[in-house]
Amino acid sequence: MAEAIVFIIFALVAIAGGLTMLTARNPVYAAVGLLSTMFAIAIMYVLLDAHLVAAVQVIIYAGAVMTLFLFVIMLIGVDRAQAYGDRPLIQKAMTGVVAVGFFATLVLAGREVWVTGSDAFGTPDLNGTIENVAKELFGNWTIVFLASVMLLTIAAVGTIALAHFPSGEEDGAS
């Protein structure tokens, strides 16, 4: 019962954060809405006994990614970004229809056994502690882990390459 109450409260927080992100004119408000959604999802992970994933969610998403977003919003300038008008009403209505239809399709598909798998099997008291996740991560998934390390290195190098502008080039293109 307590689990249900916590779930309902934080599901509402997550949906409210998502709607804030969808409708806010100011990008900073959108970022704060997404931040609350991410915290609510971290609570969901705790409810699902995925403790390591919950910690990583808070550290990486709420900590690093959203800080980076807010930093770029400040770099670009808030008032400049909010000056543009939104989509016309017909596009908003069509997007609403598409989103609701997509949601209904997902929910209907989730009722089918071939999408979600059959009934629960294996250990019902699965506990996502660091030890359990690390055994799997560094056991069966070592190659994928090393590939992700390589991916992060490539992403860092690519970001530096994108951010590097020689001083002569800047004048010509603008």
Partner 1 sequence: MTVTVTWYLVLAAALFSMGAAGVLIRRNALIMFMSIELMLNSVNLTFVAVSKHLGLIEGQVAALFVMVIAAAEVTVGLAIIVAIFRFRSSANVDELSELRG
Residue 98 interacts with partner 1 (CB under 8 A): yes or no: yes
Name residues whose C-beta falls within 8 Å of residue 137's C-beta, 6 or more positions apart in sequence: 145
Q: Please give the Cα distance from 55 to 83 (Å, whole number).
A: 37
Residues 112-141 that bind partner 1 (CB under 8 A): 116-117, 120-124, 126, 128, 132-133, 136-137, 141
- Position among 79, 89, 110, 114 found at the interface with partner 1 (CB under 8 A): 110
Q: What's the distance, CA 2 to chain centroid?
A: 26
Q: Please give the Cα distance from 21 to 37 (Å, whole number).
A: 9
Residue 89 interacts with partner 1 (CB under 8 A): yes or no: no
Residue 43 interacts with partner 1 (CB under 8 A): yes or no: no
Per-residue contact flags (x/-) with partner 1 for residues 152 to 171, judged by CB under 8 A: x-xxx-xx--xx-x----x-
Residue 45 interacts with partner 1 (CB under 8 A): yes or no: yes
- Position among 9, 72, 74, 146 found at the interface with partner 1 (CB under 8 A): 72
- The token duo for 1 is 């019962």
Residues 10-39 that bind partner 1 (CB under 8 A): 11, 14-15, 18-19, 21-22, 27, 30-31, 34, 37-38
Contact 40, 11 (CB under 8 A): yes
Nearest CA-CA partner of 155 in 70, 53, 76, 68: 68
